[in-house]
Chain A
Amino acid sequence: MGINPEGPPMGGAEAAQLDADELAETKGSRLDKLRGRWRALPRWQQWLVLSIVALVVFFLPVINPPIITTEPGTDFPLACFDMARFALVALGLNVVVGQAGLLDLGYIGFFAVGSYVAALWTSSDSTYVHIPFLWTLPLAMVVTVFFGVLLGIPTLRLRGDYLAIVTLGFGEIIRLLASIVPALRGNVGFQNVGAPPGTHDGKQIFDNSHGTPWYMMTVAIIIVVMLLLGNLERSRVGRAWVAIREDEDAAETMGVPTFKFKLWAFGTGAAIGGLSGAIFAGQVGFVNNQKFDVATSMLFLAAVVLGGSGNKFGAVIGGAIVSYIPNRFIEIANYKYLIFGVVLIVLMIFRPQGLLPARNHLLAAIGRIRQWTGTASGQPEAAAATDAGRITLRKEEDQ
């Protein structure tokens, strides 16, 4: 193992960074303190709180809380669905931007591909074989992964900037192709995109004008995706992503096949983008070339960065905020791109880690090992205390 408590040259740097992390936490804002307390909770308590939160979130459109509601401006269940859609998109983009540190500026392109897949194989305007709507979700993911790999192979070998500009172009090119390729029907678009089956009192449950069932389905998908991504994060793949994000050259030197794992991240992100695109197409029921403005990619990016790139809870919250604010405060809806553009600059200057910063599992783990082996001499006392507390709790849990 590369972790040697006796202090090889790398050890100093890690310790320094850990110190900085922990120091930022103890000295940081109230939000950071809250985060520290949350992290000190035992895992079963975390799960309990999360389940309650998930339950409340799940029934949000039914509860329709008075101050939070977006009515009369926007139908609240539909606004909730929009939040969920943004949250799912942010979750996918977070894998690319937050986990692997790759800048994808054309995420709307993958979203559009997913929407068109759903439209082409379910809409009454399409001449292709019709398949049930729910089958288009995995199909959309497969097709978008194909596009992701197609874009990733030439660019991921190069420096990050190239990926950024190629994806930026891709977002616009997909929209152009939708306009000029006759089979994609341009502005006319596809009517009657399919929906999941099921009727209640003779009416279709998944109706275009009712946001609640769509919202609940999307939230359920978000929870599943978060669990899967959580597993991926804690696997070899996730560790490779963090290594690449922190220092690509060092990762390559330590034997991480960076190109392969970058492609993994890019493909995973693309698949989630396609999935959310297909759900969106189903809810709106109509797909044409006007729905995939490249500026929306910037909103997606703002969602990830605002929430905290690298933290999936942060990404979900960021996505919900970015979608919610223009719906709640209609007066500023026209200025949303301007506002979130400025927000991106301001965040990069003053709080690049976003609302909920990424957890450095690896660095934290190293710190814990040091603690056990009694070599964490350079750590600030407060941080050492909390760390020790956490370890005793963990031990009790194990027994």
Chain B
Amino acid sequence: MHGLVTSLATVDSSWIQFDWSNLFQNFWPATFDGMTFGAIYALVALGYTLVYGVLNLINFAHSEVFISGAYAVVFTLSALGFGPNPPHLSLIAIIGDLLLACIAAMIVSAIVALIVERVAYKPLRDRGAPRLAYLISAIGASFAIQYIFFNWRSSNAEPAVIMFNPKPIFDVFGTIIDSQQLTIVIAAIVMMVATDQFIRRTRLGRGIRAVAQDPDTATLMGVNKERIIMSTFVIGGILAGAGALFYVMKVPSGVIYNGGFILGIKAFTAAVLGGIGNIRGALLGGLLLGMIGNYGQYLLGDAQWTDVVSFIVLVLVLMVRPEGILGSNLAKVRA
């Protein structure tokens, strides 16, 4: 009997292999590279967190908001003459072009986010639909947008757009940190801090917190709930657009119709890991998830293990601490 069981299902090296020495040798590069990816996850995660805070719903179409921005980056940079080889331009010119692409991506992502809100959420809100209906219409919107890109741009990835050659900046623990990693992490942190301050200090931010806390009371207090919800989607879209620029910078040939899908799930994992509805949690969760995913990749040997490990992290977090590490929500953010 025992023999039968083992021959029916033997879990041996053909199923999974751990390569610890590879992980220890590449620990610091994996850490820094992971933080770079983590910064991108964090920017996208903010979109999930903000919408979740206000509507108490996961916006399944947010991954498509992100990938629309990535398409906008590629189109803008291609139009500006960027291609598979790094351009011979002055630093100022490159920064100017990247800013232009960033703004284009933010506008496109914000518009897509707004369309999703108006088409897939607003009519249901007006009818007082059950929760399940929102989730189904959001997933419908997600696939519809994905396959608009599929039917428009074919199933192949867009040609690579290289923005600049990463230059080594400094050395930490014998690992070189390059200009690309530094740009992405610093820019992302700056944007996150700006968003955090925006939510804490501005009038619109106060409105968002009010609606997150109690939509009905907020309405009674003169907050225009519909406008707040739209603004939240737009802010999420803007941040996803910025994330899209950095994503194209990091993965130049990763713009494909379903490219947002896995990244969306990872960004959501980051949001849950840090504490969904919590802006600082999104940053922490993003950076942590980026690192964990990279460790998994070096330990298990294939780049796609990053996605599998991230997913396992999501399941484990939900099992052990579903409120996340920092575990509060948008409504509780103090002014």
Contact = CB atoms under 8 A, between A and B. Distances in A.
Interface of A: 97, 101, 103, 105, 121, 128-129, 151, 153-155, 157-158, 160-162, 164-166, 168-170, 172-173, 176-177, 179-183, 294-295, 298, 301-302, 305, 334-335, 337-338, 340-345, 348-349, 352
Nearest to B133: A348
Nearest to A177: B308
A128 to B, nearest CB: 6
A interface secondary structure, majority: helix
Contacts of A101: 132
B143 A183 contact: no
Given A151-B315, A295-B146, A338-B144, A158 B322 contact: yes
Interface string B296-324: 00000010110110010011101100100
Pick from A154, A161, A183 the residue with the most CB of B within 10 Å: A161
Contacts of A305: 136
B315 A341 contact: no
Contacts of B8: 121, 128-129
A153 B319 contact: yes
Given A176-B307, A345-B119, A160 B146 contact: no
Given A129-B4, A169-B311, A173-B308, 5 more contacts: A154-B316, A295-B147, A338-B150, A341-B144, A345-B141
List of 7 A-B pairs having minimum Cβ-Cβ separation, nearest first? A344-B140, A341-B144, A154-B319, A341-B143, A338-B147, A348-B137, A183-B14
Contact of B304 (A97, A165, A180, A348): A180
Given A160-B135, A345-B141, A166 B318 contact: yes
25 contacts: A128-B8, A129-B7, A154-B319, A157-B322, A160-B132, A162-B272, A162-B322, A165-B58, A165-B265, A165-B314, A169-B269, A172-B262, A172-B307, A180-B304, A182-B14, A183-B12, A298-B139, A298-B143, A335-B147, A338-B150, A341-B140, A344-B136, A348-B134, A348-B136, A349-B127
A343 B148 contact: no
Size category of the binding interface on chain B: 35 or more
B135 A161 contact: yes
B140 A345 contact: yes
Pick from B4, B137, B302 the residue with the most CB of A within 10 Å: B137
Given A160-B135, A348-B137, A349-B124, A183 B261 contact: no
A348 to B, nearest CB: 4
Contacts of A180: 302, 304-305, 308
Nearest to B322: A158
Contacts of A342: 140, 144
Interface string B265-282: 100110010000000000
B9 interface: yes
A288 to B, nearest CB: 16
B98 to A, nearest CB: 31
Nearest to A176: B304
Contacts of B258: 295
Contacts of A179: 304
A349 B123 contact: yes
B142 interface: yes
Pick from A301, A344, A345 the residue with the most CB of B within 10 Å: A345
B270 to A, nearest CB: 12
Contacts of B80: none
Contacts of A161: 57-58, 131, 135
A348 B311 contact: no
Contacts of A340: 140, 143
A254 to B, nearest CB: 19
